[in-house]
Amino acid sequence: MTVAVDALPVPRRVDDDRTAFTRQVLALSKRSILAIYRQPALVAPSLIFPLFFAALGASSFDRATALPGFPQVDSFLSFSLAGSITQGVLFGSAPTSRVGILIGRLAGAAVFGAFQALFFTLVLMPFGVSVEAGVVGLMVIVLAGAATGMAIGGFTAAMALKTGSSEAVQGSFPLLFIALFFSSAFFPRETMQGVYQTIANVNPVSHLVEGLRGLVIDGLTWGNVAKAVLVPVGIGVFSIALAMRTLAGRLAAR
Amino acid sequence: MTATSPSPAGSTVSFDSASAPGGTLVRSSRGLALRGLRSIVRLPSAFLPAMMMPIVQAIAFSGTFFAITKIPGFPTDRSINWYLPLACCMGSGFSGVGMGFSTVRDLESGFFDRLRMAPSPPLSLILGPLLACWLRVMIVISTVLVVGFSFGARLTDGALGLVALYVAGLGVSTIAAGWGLGLAYVFGDMRAAALMQLTLFNALFLTNAQTPLFIMTGWLHEIARVNPFTNVLRLSRQGFLGEVTWGDTWGGLAAIVGLSAVTLWFARRGLDRLGD
């Protein structure tokens, strides 16, 4: 019988732990991003459906842009770009499962969110949509897509860790649907009434969308940048803290 | 003597062997319909989305798109009157394709082979789920209506409007059930599910679903004008937008009869080929 001396545990230093942690996170991030690339059938709907809705909206609601409460836009498509990006990222960020694992998974959601933001903008540009905030604005939109992807990924990760059920994570769709439709993603808050307007006013998705829309329609302002980036970052801090806490609870229970 | 066979959903299907060979179409269909209804209680996760989504859709759409009622010529000043029938038809359609989902589960678990070997007419394998689907649709539409009325929906032509809505909902569910069962028989696995949902979604949204035809512009107007589901939605909305007229009824009825015949034939052909 031989003893493999090389395999014996060697005392580790803190620096080694940090390096290992970074390596693990990077490896898991890469895996998560590759999973998106390797399973196009899972991500295709979150790219196709927002474009389908944008096309439907452009034909159905173009005349509505003349109504009081609508911002000055060349077409409904310009108005709907921000809603399409938010819709795609909300329905496209669904990671399913220690800290490194979680961060690695969320990195995949963030990269996909950024890709979606860029994809929707570039696809709609030949149809008359222009980003008034220019290239810098487009970079802010992509950054906001990444932050939103990570934020929503945090919620779905928390739900997955809590329930351990992919069915329950799929069941979050109606909640995201409500968050999206009770916001100004598709129509301005100024055109809503009563309780709908009250909910849309307090819904953070409204402020995120309006920041993105401001960059598309009005141009580069600190207010638009702050709303487009800080709102998803704020949601992300909360959702990732929730996911971490759920993860700690799950590990403690074992 | 009655033979009972356990199914994956935990339910049982009873076939009265006294009427063998074949049993009767009505009795076999009734047994399968009852099994479909029992699954509402035993597999609520398969039924609740078809119930909840139209409710959420009716409320969300009518709140978000409230402003379109301000466009001159819009047929109602209540946005929920426009979106409630759409939600009912959407819920009915998803109840219909839900029969396709449960058939795929039976095919994958092997339970469907037992059903095919049972001494009952093959047609009962289509008629049974269809009966269950109709009963589910009655539950879905009734529930969505109650919620809709509490959110401000109002009938403009009394009970006749409700009849038109239920007929449209049952029609959409029949078309969707035939399509769902047919795809389930052709694919035999869950690949069919995505196709069922996607096609139904497109069929219902490439219509006057969101706005009346005269408000639409461009490509959607051309498609919606010839899409038979536009007539079905027109039939469903009559009692919420004005009077129920034959002019707004016959097109919807013709679309329901024609599309149902095509999709149910597709289902029957798929079932026959399953044995080959």
> Chain A contacts of B68, Cβ < 8 Å?
61, 64
Residue B49 contacts A where some CB pair is shorter than 8 Å: yes
The partner residues of B12 in beta bridges, in order of sequence, read: B6
Each residue's pLDDT tens digit, A7-60: 555 555 666 777 777 777 777 777 777 777 776 766 777 788 889 889 998 899
B4 domain-assigned? no
The two structure tokens encoding residue B246: 């034959």
Each residue's pLDDT tens digit, B31-54: 888 988 888 887 776 677 778 889
Q: Is B71 helix (H, G, I), strand (E, B) or coil?
A: coil
B184 domain-assigned? yes
Rounded-to-integer distance, Cα B185 and Cα B192, Å: 9
Nearest CA in chain B to A185: B64
B216 domain-assigned? yes
Nearest CA in chain A to B213: A60
CA distance A38 to chain B (A): 18
Alpha carbon distances (Å) from B51 to A46, A119, B11: 23, 34, 22
Each residue's pLDDT tens digit, B211-269: 999 999 889 999 999 999 999 999 999 999 999 999 999 999 999 999 999 999 999 99
Instruction: Find, among A180, A174, A179, the residue nearest to B52 by Cα.
Output: A174
Contact A60 B211 (CB under 8 A): yes
Each residue's pLDDT tens digit, A75-132: 898 899 999 998 888 876 654 445 556 777 788 888 889 999 999 999 999 988 999 9
B111 domain-assigned? yes
B35 domain-assigned? no
Cβ–Cβ < 8 Å for B149, B165? no
- Domain count for chain B, please give it: 1
B198 domain-assigned? yes
Contact A192 B63 (CB under 8 A): yes
Q: Most B CBs within 10 Å: which of A56, A166, A176, A187, as the mutation test of the B interface?
A: A56
B10 domain-assigned? no
B13 domain-assigned? no
Q: Most B CBs within 10 Å: which of A46, A48, A53, A60, as the mutation test of the B interface?
A: A60
For B213, the domain range is 46-274
Rounded-to-integer distance, Cα A84 and Cα A144, Å: 13
Is 60 exceeded by the pLDDT of residue B15? no
Alpha carbon distances (Å) from A126 to A53, A121, A130, B177, B271: 17, 10, 9, 39, 46
In our burial notation (b when 16+ CB lie closer than 10 A, e otherwise), range A116-134 reads bbbbbbebbeeeebebebe
CA distance A31 to chain B (A): 25
Rounded-to-integer distance, Cα B7 and Cα B19, Å: 22
Rounded-to-integer distance, Cα A49 and Cα A56, Å: 10
